[in-house]
Each structure stands twice: as C-alpha cells, then as structure tokens.
Amino acid sequence: MTNTKISEFRKAVYQSLRRRADILFDLIDALTVAGQVNSPVTLSEQKPFRRKFSSVYDGLENGEMDIGKILSLLPECVPEDSETIAGYRVYAVDATPNEHEEAETLPDRGVLKSNQKDPMRYGHKYSWLVRLVQFGTSWVAPVDVERIDTETTDTQLAAVQVQELDLRDRHRKVIVADSRYEEHRFLGLFERFQHTFGLIRLHGNRVLYEVPKQKPKGSCGAPRKHGKSFKLHGAHRAADRCETFSLGDQTVRVQA
C-alpha cells in the first residue's frame, strides 16, 4: 500500500469517529505499536498517545464511531496482491477463544469447550472474517471481528458477518470455513447471494440427498421429501463436474 493510500485510509477512519475523535485515533495508533496490552491504560505509555492516562477511559466511555463506515473501508485496503483463485477473492471465517480463567466477574464470560473431551476453560470467543493475503503463509487481513456472546453461536454471528460483507464487497468472492459451519442455516445463506459463494468442509460421515423425483399424478401416498442418498465416504456415481486449476506451483483438481 502506498503512502498516499495509507494517508487516505487514516483520514477516512478519523472522519468515522463521531465523538472523542482525537483520543480514539491516538488509541488506534498506540495499538499498532504496543506489544502485549495488559490493561487499556497501558496504551497511554505508547509514544503515539499524546494525552494523559485519564483520557484513555474518557475515550472508551464517551467516544463514538461509525462502525459500518469503518468496516466498509477494510475490503478495499488489503494488499493488491492478496489471494485470488480464478478471479475470486478468498475470505475465511473462524472463531478463536480468548481465555480469562481468573476473571470470574467478567461480563458474559462463557465456557470455551469445543469438544466433549476438552478441559473446561472460561473466557470470550471472537468471530474473525478475514481476507487471505498470500498462499502458503498465515498472513490475513481482518475485515470484521466481533465477540460471540453467550446468547448466540459461532455460525449465527458468522452468518451476519458474511451477509454484511456481501453488501460491502460486490466483487466475486468465496468464503472458506471448516466443518463447524456446515449448519444448514449458514449454508442456506449462499442461495441468496449473487457474488458470494461458500466452500465449507463437511464431516466425512455426512449424507446428502438429491432432489426427489415427482410422483406420477394420481398415485397414492405423500410426496417424497428426499431423493437418492449420497454418502461422502462412498460416492455411488461419477462427479457432475471436474475443474483443474493452478494454485501457486501446484495443480489442483476439484470434483463435485
């Protein structure tokens, strides 16, 4: 990103801050150079923060920002050479835990167990929607990060994030996710999108069903709800479509 684009981005972010703009902007700059932040007030020790430490809490308590406007800036500010496959921008969604074992009075602290055999842990979870930047690396460009409260689920919040991204970014794109997001309410979103597609990993024991054949007129009984079954671990027919493309120095073949 050029210096001009960085300057334009910073100006647009500043204009999105409605109240306590100078304090909030200093906090953003302080976060970019801070290492581990143990408490908000420690940000006042960073060089970009030009005010007294009491201003930190004034900004956090009384500041306001236009979140929608800020989020709309992010998709266009990722590196120009970010990951694309066959002309599609590649995004990923996932949830990550942030443990707070000792903070028993922390508001909305929940259980972080993802599997039955996992040890009991407590804290917050965050849903990350990111643009994949470069093949073979872990670098990503976040476009939306929200805390998952205990009254909702990973997939419910991810669905909202994907819907909002579809409105903000009208380029062709694909959302990749692991099997946590194979829930039908999340998958069903993509039927309504024109520019956004899902590539979701499914558990190997899943069984899919074809569209049922229509019953002949005049036949008895209720119409079928499901067609022929399709087991992922044992396909009974050839793929409907095969595509081969290059990804880095590899040749990838996809069948569906």
**pLDDT digit string, tens, across residues 116-154:** 777 889 999 999 999 998 877 888 999 999 999 999 999
pLDDT at 10: 93
Q: pTM of this prediction?
A: 0.81
- Residue intervals in the chain for CATH 3.30.420: 84-200
- Which residue, 161, 179, 190, 164, is CA-closest to 115? 179
Residue 138's contacts (CB-CB under 8 Å, 6 or more residues apart) are none
Q: Flag whether pLDDT at 256 surpasses 80.
A: no
Residue 70's contacts (CB-CB under 8 Å, 6 or more residues apart) are 13, 16
Rounded CA separation 63/25 (Å): 10
CATH number of 84-200: 3.30.420
pLDDT at 236: 65
